[in-house]
Structure 1
Amino acid sequence: MASPFDIEEIYPDDGEHSLRLPRRQAGNSPQGVAVTLLADYSVRTRAAFPSAAIVALLAESGVTTAGARTAISRLARRGVLEGSRQGRHSSYRLSRAAAANLSAGAQWILTSTAATTPWDRCWTTVAFSLPQDRGAQRRTLRGQLRWLGYAPLYDGLWISPYELTPPARELLAQLSAGRVTVFRGRQTALDTTSQRAPIEAWDIDAIKRHYEEFLRRWEPMLPLVRSGQVEGSAAVRARTEVMDTFRRFPTLDPQLPLELLPAGWLRQPARQLFAAVYDDLAEPAERHVRAVVARFTASGEPGIQAHTTADLVAGSRGDASPGEACRDGPTR
């Protein structure tokens, strides 16, 4: 089974822009930290940050000055950041495409872990075939299918417990004619031990371990957060880390039906813990970000705002309407 962390992009292109957000790496890359940091305090306002302030904030997360400046430059070339200059001083903000992309991603992260969509025991099966010389296209397709909630039951055969969504339909429509077939239906049980259950396309034990690791990491910090003992740069670092970690869960566990999962599944406890840490750190983290920005600009930046989980969900388009035979799952 391919690791879900092999997905090339944090969020895929939306089909209308050439925007490419930074690739995932083992650990937190400078570009990834920069995107998370700017999104946490400006995804709705697109506030501009002096480049020196971005460098200073990234330094608090262990990014060198050279690494921070390289990350900013590369993000600007990718179209993730827009730059402006006044005299010798430069500032950057999220581009309109990046802000829309990240906002949609944040809504998906929070809504897809908030509740379980009713399931009617239907499975969507996507079978595709690409020539060996199209390895890059195959890797991209697999990564985007993973992001859309699919997993490989066999090589070239991907499944989801939910209806084919419009984004998935558009993705598959880009393949050459005769390269893809989509089915929707129920599994037929066989009286044999060689049968593989569709849920086995996901490594349930591994997903459970990721949830357990998340809870072990953040539960001890929650009392400190709630008592106001996490402030300043520590609040910003913790908030960035908890978002960067939690946002991977909807790909690991794309609203898998609870009836197929072990009792006491940890999706909701993890989401509740994430929301408590992220929201309770919003005020002290925002104060610190504002203080750092104020060191590099006389006027300050009124648009800096630490978004809460409620803010990020507010723009959600809601669940898709159910189909006639099978209910739709998450819209991505």
Structure 2
Amino acid sequence: MASPFDIEEIYPDDGEHSLRLPRRQAGNSPQGVAVTLLADYTVRTRAALPSAAIVALLAESGVTTAGARTAISRLSRRGVLEGSRHGRRSSYRLSRAAAANLSAGAQWILTSTAATTSWDGCWTTVAFSLPQDRSAQRRALRGQLRWLGYAPLYDGLWISPYELTSPARELLGQLAAGRVTVFRGRQSALDTTSQRAPIEAWDIDAISGHYEVFLRRWTPLVPLVRSGRVDGAAAVRARTEVMDTFRRFPILDPRLPLELLPARWPRQPARELFAAVYDGLAEPAERHVRAVVARFIDSGEPGVRAHTTTDLVTGVRGDESPGEGCRDGAAG
């Protein structure tokens, strides 16, 4: 099954050029919004929601009916969603693989943006060389390196401040068998001003700028959330947007060592702000999603369950039963 999220949602396919920052900070893709919505309210239960309910919820986030139906169809073809029919009605739920992927991904997002682990001052470098006629293989390798938190210091030389795990090492070996080499060590200082520091593989100013955009966008909402003045569709829309935006930060800023970053690095303030909005809107958003889904089912409990950042860190495994909800179009 394809990952519910593509690396291109965060980094555009830039060919042989140096890595660029996200092409989207707002106006997220219909597929991304659909996956975030379903994950936020059904990843525990894997409840099947009527397609009309999914379309209605996406419409509240500005997705057209045609765009919503196209997103659902594409996610189904990718194995992210499973479809079923009952009479004339169709319903969709997260596939088991997608639910597990999203649960692990959500846990990774929260743990990756927590306090930075201690750094030993060493760098892991991944060097590879692939012929021009293996562009698909090269693109897949770059994509995996990005997900693993690496950045290109030079063409064909990617770095990270942290150890390459055994599963990641095995994966990279499969993607570029016989054409990849991994080293770990300290940088040797050169007696020249032309030396490039490894941290320069990341555009620190641009990453900081994205954090600042996030902080400016969401900080004014916190008093309204705490006073209960964000409800209904607005609560769902804000919660979806804040998750869909925040989940990009672990790729942009993969636990970069604080000692290499400017003072008052905004990673922790952004995480605290995300938790304040996401957790604070969990109850009103769940109520609204339940109400929307209830309009499209005859009876039964819809299997809608919101979760908090604490739940995500613990791990939302999708072990709960969806019960008999969405009986009118439940997946078989």
- Give the alignment's TM-score, normalised by structure 1: 0.87
Partner AA of 1:91 in structure 2? S
Instruction: Tell which has more relative contact order, 1 or 2 (C-alpha 8 A, sep 6+).
Output: 2
1:267-308 deviation line (CA, Å, top 9, x unaligned): 000000000000000000000000000000022434211111
Q: How far does residue 119 in structure 1 lie from its aligned partner after superposition? A: 0.5
Change (3 A) 1:76 1:25: farther
Partner-residue secondary structure (3-state), 1:90: strand
Which residue in the other structure is 2:244 paired with? 244
Partner-residue secondary structure (3-state), 2:8: coil
Pair 1:137 & 2:137 matched: yes
Any residues of structure 2 matched to 1:172-251 within 5 Å, and which?
172-251=172-251
**Worse-matched range after superposition: 66-75 or 24-33:** 24-33
Alignment partners' CA distance in 2, 1:188 and 1:46: 52
Q: Check conservation: 1:290, 1:304, Cα contact below 8 A.
A: yes
Q: How far does residue 6 in structure 1 lie from its aligned partner after superposition? A: 8.6
Alignment partners' CA distance in 2, 1:6 and 1:91: 24
Partner-residue secondary structure (3-state), 1:100: helix
Change (3 A) 1:99 1:316: closer
Change (3 A) 1:176 1:28: closer
Which residue in the other structure is 2:16 paired with? none
Change (3 A) 1:8 1:167: farther
Q: Check conservation: 2:141, 2:176, Cα contact below 8 A.
A: no
Partner AA of 2:287 in structure 1? R
Alpha-carbon RMSD across the aligned residues, in angstroms, is: 1.9
Pair 1:276 & 2:276 matched: yes
**Worse-matched range after superposition: 155-164 or 78-87:** 78-87
1:101-129 deviation line (CA, Å, top 9, x unaligned): 11111000000101111101011000001
Partner-residue secondary structure (3-state), 1:174: helix
1:47-79 deviation line (CA, Å, top 9, x unaligned): 111111001001111111111111111111111
- Give the alignment's TM-score, normalised by structure 2: 0.87
Q: How far does residue 8 in structure 1 lie from its aligned partner after superposition? A: 3.0
Alignment partners' CA distance in 1, 2:107 and 2:153: 28
Displaced runs of 4 or more, over 6 A: none
Q: How far does residue 175 in structure 1 lie from its aligned partner after superposition? A: 3.3
Partner-residue secondary structure (3-state), 1:193: coil
Alignment partners' CA distance in 1, 2:301 and 2:166: 38
Partner AA of 1:129 in structure 2? S
Alignment partners' CA distance in 1, 2:130 and 2:214: 37
Q: How far does residue 91 in structure 1 lie from its aligned partner after superposition? A: 1.0
Which residue in the other structure is 1:163 paired with? 163
Q: Check conservation: 2:137, 2:176, Cα contact below 8 A.
A: no
Q: Check conservation: 2:43, 2:316, Cα contact below 8 A.
A: no
